[in-house]
Amino acid sequence: MKIICIGRNYTDHIKELANEKPTDPVIFLKPDTAILLKGQPFFIPDFSNDVHHEVEILVKISRVGKHIDKKFAHKYYNEIGLGIDFTARDLQQKLKDKGLPWEKAKAFDGAALVGKWLPKSDFESVDAINFSLEKNDSVVQQGTTSLMLWKIDELIEYVSKYFTLKIGDIIFTGTPSGVAKVEANDELRGLIENNEMFKLTIK
C-alpha cells in the first residue's frame, strides 16, 4: 500500500505559501510507516519546531489500474475520507532551498493521519464535497473539492500514468488555505459536511 500526495491543488494555499502555480499536479509519496496508528496522538518530532496541519480529502483505490482514462477513473474508488498531511515546515523550507526532496519533512513516522471512510455514493458529486478542520473548537481550515485545480478523476488519470494504482492505495488530494503550526495539547477535529471523520490530540 502506498500513499500518493498531491501538493499545490488549491489556489489560495499556493498563495499563502508564496509558491508558483504548477502546470501539472505536484506529486510526492509517503510510506505506509507514515500512517498514524488509530487512537494514537500525534507526537511533534524532535527535528522540527514548526509542524503544520494540512487537512485533505482522501480517496481509497479499490481496483488495480494503470493509464486510467479520466472517464473511467470513477470506477477505481468507492470511498472518500479525510486526513491530515503533517508537514515539518521548517525542515521542508531548508530542503526546498537546497533543491532537495521533501520526504524528511512530509513522510516521517506519523505524518499521515487517515480518518474514517464514507461511501462515495453518499455524495451527489465528488466535485462538490465540503470539509473542514477545527483546532481547539475553532475552524482553521475550510475547503470544497469544487475549488481543486485538478479534480479527483483527473488526479487518478494523471497519477496512473506514472504509478500503477493498487487496491488500498490512498490519494491525499491537496489542502486548502489555513495551514498552521500545531502545539502540544491542541485538539484537532476533521469533518466532511457534518460527519466527524477524526479527532486527534497533539503531544
3-state secondary structure of 47: coil
| Residue ranges in the chain modelled with pLDDT below 50 | none
User: Would you call 168 exposed, middle or buried from its count of C-beta atoms within 10 A (0-12, 13-18, 19+)?
Assistant: exposed
pLDDT of res. 21: 67
CATH number of the structural domain 3-201: 3.90.850.10
**DSSP H/E element including 4:** strand 3-7
Starting at the earlier edge strand, list the strands of the sheet with 195-201. Answer: 138-144, 130-135, 187-192, 195-201
Q: How far is CA 199 from CA 133, 179, 195, 202, in A?
A: 10, 17, 12, 10
pLDDT per position as a tens digit, 170-179: 999 999 999 9
- By DSSP bridging, strand 112-119 and strand 3-7 are unpaired
Q: Among all chains, which residue has been given the C-alpha cell 473511467?
A: 72
| pTM, two decimal places | 0.95
- Cα separation, 32 vs 198, whole angstroms: 19
pLDDT per position as a tens digit, 72-112: 999 999 999 999 999 999 999 999 999 999 999 999 999 99
Half-sphere exposure of 48 (CA within 13 A, CB side): 25
